[in-house]
Amino acid sequence: MRTEAGPPVTVVVGAGLVGASIGHALTGAGWRVHLVDAVPSHAMVAAGLGAGTAEPAEPSEVGLVVVAVPPRTIADVVGESLQTYPYATVTDVGSVKAGVLDALWERPVDLTRYVGSHPMAGSHHSGPVTADGDLFVDRTWVVTPHRKSAEASTARVVELVRACRARLVTLDVDDHDAAVARVSHLPHLVSVLMAGHLTDVPEEDLVLAGQGLRDVTRIAGGDPGLWQQIVRANATAVLRELRQVAVSLDRLITAVETAPTDEAPADLSLSRELERGVDGTRRIPGKHGSAAVPYEQVVVAIPDEPGALARLFGDVEAAGVNVEDIAIEHDASRQVGYLTLSVQPERAEGLAVVMRDGGWTVV
């Protein structure tokens, strides 16, 4: 039985991007980390890169188990871990929390030692990415204690979040699931809806597609297998949002159907829907958790050739202006792209002048 002070001996189950990144972060913080994966070579690769050891842990010595497996298998792996490691706090890093808890509730396991969590990082860097111990630094990591969980278990998961240098947010299980349904799962499905509609659009129409369509549909390209598990796991909360959107869509259709008349030439219903959309975009916090800042945009044409961006940013640096955000736009058929530089409003005019003087086309 583990009694010594210091960080707990930790087992990370699942050596994918999130699991291995946790391994790196904890190892870097001086923790002892054992990596386990259904495919043993995955654990060995991650261990070889410094995320921990692939050697098995002595179960009675383990103080913390982090379950970083696909959503569908989380509940089973958490249940098994509670049994395998009799003194360990067990957490998971899945993006939906209630289903796991519900599945475990009636099982003969010690739920006082389980506290779910959800690091908000990594999920949209798809493709071959390498684990990174800094993945969670200053990112939100939600911890979701429940009615049966012991305070000591919650404290241990908080210790994990701190060791990964993430920003701790504590939420009730259902509140968490409702929140991610609204800001993550619903947007994904709305994007899927729009992108799916394109499968019925004639190819010659798609030649007219611009950046707006690309933005709206980008996340719909995410892994369908993973998203099926996420949506399935959060079905109740997701359905509540989807049904509200269906009501809004009906209202929007009615607004478009309602032609303006001589009596009501202002056509307020459609106007109201469009204004509501603008209001919604303004509610999304800006970067670093601050309120959305109305940056000003300086749009510069960039030749489509190697080195153009480096020269451009060199000139921006020379202007001494901090760029808050950038976006690049390559429309179909246009050889010259546009770079939108978002800067503090009081710096926009000066930047535009410097860029023009430097020979750039500022539009």
* Positions 97 through 116 that interact with a second copy (CB under 8 A): none
The CB density around residue 3, as the number of other CB atoms within 10 Å, is 7
Choosing from 16, 50, 187, 303, the residue that interacts with a second copy (CB under 8 A) is 187
Binding a second copy by CB under 8 A: which of 40, 243, 264, 353?
A: 243
Closest to a second copy by CB, 150 vs 270, is 270
Helix (H, G, I), strand (E, B) or coil at 143: strand
Cα separation, 185 vs 180, whole angstroms: 6
Total residues found in the chain within this entry: 363
- Per-residue binding letters, 333-352, with a second copy (x by CB under 8 A): xxxxxx-x------------
Residue 249 lies near a second copy (rule: CB under 8 A): yes
Centre a 10 Å sphere on the Cβ of residue 340 and count the other Cβ atoms it contains: 15
CB 319 within 8 A of CB 357: no
Angle, CA 292 vertex, CA 267 and CA 323 arms, to 5°? 120
Packing angle, helices 268-283 and 235-257, rounded to 10: 140
Distances from the Cα of 237 to the Cα of 67, 96, 193, 228, 241, angstroms: 23, 10, 18, 14, 7
What x-and-dash track marks residues 33-62 binding a second copy by CB under 8 A? ------------------------------
In this structure, the strands spanning 9-13 and 33-36 are parallel
**Only segment of 25-33, 46-54, 58-66, 235-243 that touches a second copy (CB under 8 A):** 235-243
Q: Please state the closest distance from residue 39 (CB atom) to a second copy, in A.
A: 22
- Dihedral Cα 341, 343, 345, 351, nearest 10 deg: -70
Which range in 4-12, 55-63, 152-160, 210-218 contacts a second copy by CB under 8 A? 210-218
The distance of closest approach from Cβ of residue 345 to a second copy in the complex, given in angstroms and rounded to an integer, is 11
Restricting to residues 107-166, name those near a second copy by CB under 8 A: 120-121, 124-125, 127, 129-130, 132, 134-135, 137-140, 142
Mark the segment that binds a second copy (CB under 8 A) among 49-57, 84-92, 144-152, 193-201. 193-201
**Which residues from 295-324 bind a second copy, rule CB under 8 A?**
296-297, 299, 301, 304-307, 309-314, 316-317, 320-324
Q: Mapping DSSP to helix (H, G, I), strand (E, B) and coil, where does residue 338 land?
A: strand
Nearer CB in complex with a second copy: 11/98: 98
CA 190 to mean position of chain CA atoms: 16
Nearer to a second copy, 90 or 93 (CB): 93
Binding string, residues 251-270; x marks residues near a second copy by CB under 8 A: -xx--xx-xx------x--x
**Three-point CA angle 274, 276, 280, nearest 5°:** 120
